[in-house]
Amino acid sequence: MITENRRHTSATPGGIGASVSNIEAMDKVRGRFVYANDLTRAGMLYGATLRSPYPHARIEAIDTQVTRRLPGVQAVLTHADIPGRPTYGFEEPDQPVLAWDQVRYQGEPVAIVAAESAEAAQAALQAITVRYVRLEPLTDPKRVASGEGANLHPQGNTLRRLPIVWGNPQMQAPVVVRQSYSVAMQDPAFLAPEAGLAQPDGEGGIEVWAASQWLHADRAQIAAALALPEERVHLHLAGVGGAFGGREDITLQIHLALLAQATGRPVKMSYTREESFLAHAHRHPAQMWYEHGADLDGTLRYVRAHILLDGGAYASSSNAVVVNAATFACGPYRVPNGSIEAEVVFTNHPIAGAMRGFGAVQVAFAYEAQMDRLAQALGMDPVELRRKNALRTGDVLPTGQRLEGPVPVDRLLERLQEVPLPQSASAGFPGVHRGVGFAVAFKNIGYSSGMDDTATVRLRMQTGEDGSPEVHLWSAAAEVGQGIRTVQRQILTEEFGNLRIVLEPIATDVASAGSTSASRQTWMTAAALKEACAALREVLWERAEKELGAQEGAGRLVIREGMLWRTRETELPAQEEPHVSLKSLLRETPVEVERTHHHRPTQPLDPQTGQGNAHLDFAFVAHRAVVDVDLGSGSIRPVELATIQEVGRAVNPKMVSGQMEGGSAQGLGLALMEALESKEGVVQNASFESYLVPTSEDVPPIYTELLEESDPSAPYGLKGVGEMPTLSSGPAITAAVRAASGRALTRFPIRPEDLLLPQPNVAVFLTPTQEQEAESLPMEQINAMTEEHFVATLGFAVEESPWVARAVFQRRPFPDPQALADAFREVLISASPKRQRAILMTHPELATARNAAVGLSALSRSEQAQGGFSTLDDGALSWWRRFNHLYRIKFGFPYVFALRAHAEEDRVSVARARLRNAPAIELACAIEEVSQIARTRILDRVGGLQSVMEREA
């Protein structure tokens, strides 16, 4: 039998550090848990919402006369029926409760109805007539950012632009990696669609039950729309079936309250799955342009980036999201110089908000891809490069904020390397290649930028019906499946021992606990609860002194075994120390205290430079992914995810591991399959049939490990954990696919065509460039160069791998150009197979010069053009594309052929012969071709080499 959840009572032991079960788990598993959609009331009506079918349109008229006369219809409301403020919003009240002059996204609410049955409510919607004039939708954020299109809001289409400038923003470097990246819109995809119930309280107020992440923020917006004082609006948390940021914004709460107020009866609303996709906030799509500069030893010199976020039609949490995107744009690395510009614009897409890991997730894809490509260019191990540049305690972020607490980036990566790799089950399958990828990331904990973030709890200790002492807790902290109720019980057990604990219902009967978001709820509620427990003990001791007499000296107040002790011991008190029974202290009246915690102050970022101590604290995470990629079909099979997360002190290790697994799966979804697609603002896949999320068949085994480093600034040393695993799992999977396929992979999620069709190459270049020193160089000048100048001058000879030139430099001096060319060949053929494959992966396939979308280097484009590959007829072009596909399936790297060194040979015959080679033989052949390409490129650069080669010929 399902009964409505009201309170939870337990005397089960298990303090901080115990892996006790989530207190809601058994009810959910057995089907007894009451979700928002399970709520019922006698005589209730059914609400429904009329939504715009267009992403952008002007409303000419709304006719509800027919609807109002339909049988069973009790209320039809439009914007004209809203008694209070007609707009609402999580950060800015810019969103219409019901649209009146125009609609700005598909699915925007225009009217609401209440009827005696769900069927009657749907029929009522069909009878409403709305006359729209369609307007051109704004759907390209780049065009919007450049000022094109009409303004969607009076203040313009740019909601916020945030620059961060530090060190020398014009800094140069000998090795530079530059590329653009994009991340799609991800849906929170919680399993329980929005639902709720509202009813008049009989005293002119309204009660609302809804699945929410912040009841008090909802209450403020509801009260404003209903023109009621906030104290006349009472909210109760209904059972939540997942959130991930998607329940932080208002969806149906105001509509429910309006209908209950208008009808004087209880009203229930439940969204369909398609309606849910349109109604709630999503992850911001992002377009990002990055440039990393480094020294030849891999030390980062600078990062320059531009991040453009698509906020959709209204502000939601975009102001906070753009701050996170900007402040974490460089990743957990020491970057002494650079400039970041992040901006968020309005479009006619669905609303984007604070989805799990907001802002930090998007940039992690970009900066981790940059680190992998930089490692490839330098010939370094990707993990070695990360560890070399890893942030450490005391380092300063681009915003000028100094890292004071634990910063274990290097240790996370070191430990992750020690985790054994899974055995290969794909060996022997043609065209299937295994890849391993690493990623590391970090994010803030708590609200930032000067916000006075608070959480309040109320405690009461009393005797129960059997005379035993028990403690009651009131807290409005939203339980959305993450386990805050279980954490509260563990803290109370830690503080008071094995007393009976009663967790009262989550509602606005107590002051706000803030939002369950930004990984803040455990930190903030734990801090408030710790302060309340200390205050409660003090009140009890004041009573105890009347029985014991005044006690001299300091000491801890400890409650254990139903007794209150004053003790100097660090562990359990000794029998001879002062103590008194709780039962005697509570005989006459209970003890009740309420405490509000404010975290330490933060600062807003300077609007011109982005400098400031914006964040409360930080947490770090790393992932290693193993994937198998079928280059014939473009399919990707995740084999394993391993993750290690810095968690402060784990309150409940089992629940932390669960968060790590769930967040890792959500990151996997964004990397491989999740994208809410729209065409001119119209959503194309608003269902779980076409919007794909990872299932148990898609998620591989996940190895989790907790790194506990208690933070002295945090309550009990703990940290929030929910968002971090979403940051690095996707980038690690992408890195593994990149390693297996050799593709640049610059958009996420990865699609099969990204593995099967020609893709843009990542731009890697050296400074000064060869164009700046195009004159022929004598050997004397070559031998006199510094290492940096040598690599900058000759590093281009091997595509995107200046580390080869660095290794050649160590063999100086060179007596003649012949020795120089031979040195390049010797470095190439003596490199490890892993490095050789990495070199081959950087080379473009033949017959791609005609495709403008493929980012060939200037030299590669010129060489293919000289070889006639830019003018192939359709038949020849089709043959080479088919050949390249078969070759890559067999060998796992692109076909490399030194066109200028074999100008007169039958290229088709050579290609067919090489396709028949054994893999080891072909690897050697391909590296020999790379050395020939390097030789001809050096010929163009070094004086005297041409005559040597002509004599050889």
φ/ψ (deg, to 5) at 925: -60, -45
pLDDT tens for residues 84-124? 999 999 889 999 999 999 999 999 999 999 999 999 999 99
Count the neighbouring beta carbons within 10 Å of the beta carbon of residue 695.
9
Residue 79, C-beta contacts closer than 8 angstroms, at least 6 positions apart: 86, 96, 97, 98, 99, 100
Predicted local distance difference test score (pLDDT) of residue 779: 86
Question: Coil, helix or strand for 142?
Answer: helix
Residue 308, C-beta contacts closer than 8 angstroms, at least 6 positions apart: 141, 142, 145, 286, 287, 288, 342, 343, 344, 345
Amino acid letter, residue 718: L
Length of the chain: 953
d(CA 795, CA 765): 9
- Give first-to-last CA distance, the chain, whole Å: 90
Predicted local distance difference test score (pLDDT) of residue 10: 56
Of 666, 701, 661, the C-alpha closest to 188 is 666
Q: Which two tokens stand for residue 793?
A: 């001058």
Of 210, 309, 316, the C-alpha closest to 269 is 210
Question: Coil, helix or strand for 546?
Answer: helix
In this prediction the pTM is 0.92
What single DSSP character describes residue 70? S
| DSSP state letters, 76-121 | EE-GGG--S-SEE-SSS--EESS-SSEE-STT-EEEEEEESSHHHH
Cα 953 from chain centroid?
57
Residue 112, C-beta contacts closer than 8 angstroms, at least 6 positions apart: 47, 48, 49, 50, 75, 76, 77, 98, 255, 258, 259
pLDDT tens for residues 665-723? 999 999 999 999 999 999 999 999 999 999 999 999 999 999 999 888 899 999 999 99
Task: Give pLDDT < 70 ranges for the chain.
Answer: 1-13, 425-428, 550-554, 570-572, 759-763, 765-775, 849-855, 904, 943-953
d(CA 381, CA 739): 12
Cα 100 from chain centroid?
35
Count the neighbouring beta carbons within 10 Å of the beta carbon of residue 6.
9
Q: Which residues pair with 618 in a beta bridge?
A: 444
Residue 243, C-beta contacts closer than 8 angstroms, at least 6 positions apart: 188, 190, 211, 213, 478, 480, 481, 516
Of 555, 630, 548, the C-alpha closest to 581 is 548
Strands 195-200 and 206-210: antiparallel
Predicted local distance difference test score (pLDDT) of residue 7: 58
Count the neighbouring beta carbons within 10 Å of the beta carbon of residue 861.
17
Q: Computed from CA positions of residues 31, 34, 37, 42, in that sequence, does the dihedral angle turn out positive or negative?
A: positive
d(CA 229, CA 218): 13
φ/ψ (deg, to 5) at 599: -75, 165
CA distances from 572 to 275, 389, 564, 649 (A): 56, 45, 12, 21
d(CA 219, CA 208): 9
φ/ψ (deg, to 5) at 580: -155, 150
Element (H, E) at 502: strand 500-503
Predicted local distance difference test score (pLDDT) of residue 199: 98
What single DSSP character describes residue 507? B
Q: Which two tokens stand for residue 117?
A: 């049955």
| DSSP state letters, 698-736 | TS--EEEEEEE---TTSGGGB---SSHHHHHHHHHHHHH
Predicted local distance difference test score (pLDDT) of residue 1: 25
d(CA 561, CA 566): 14
Q: Torsion over CA of 740, 744, 747 and 748, rounded to 10 degrees?
A: 20
Predicted local distance difference test score (pLDDT) of residue 850: 63
Question: Coil, helix or strand for 293?
Answer: strand
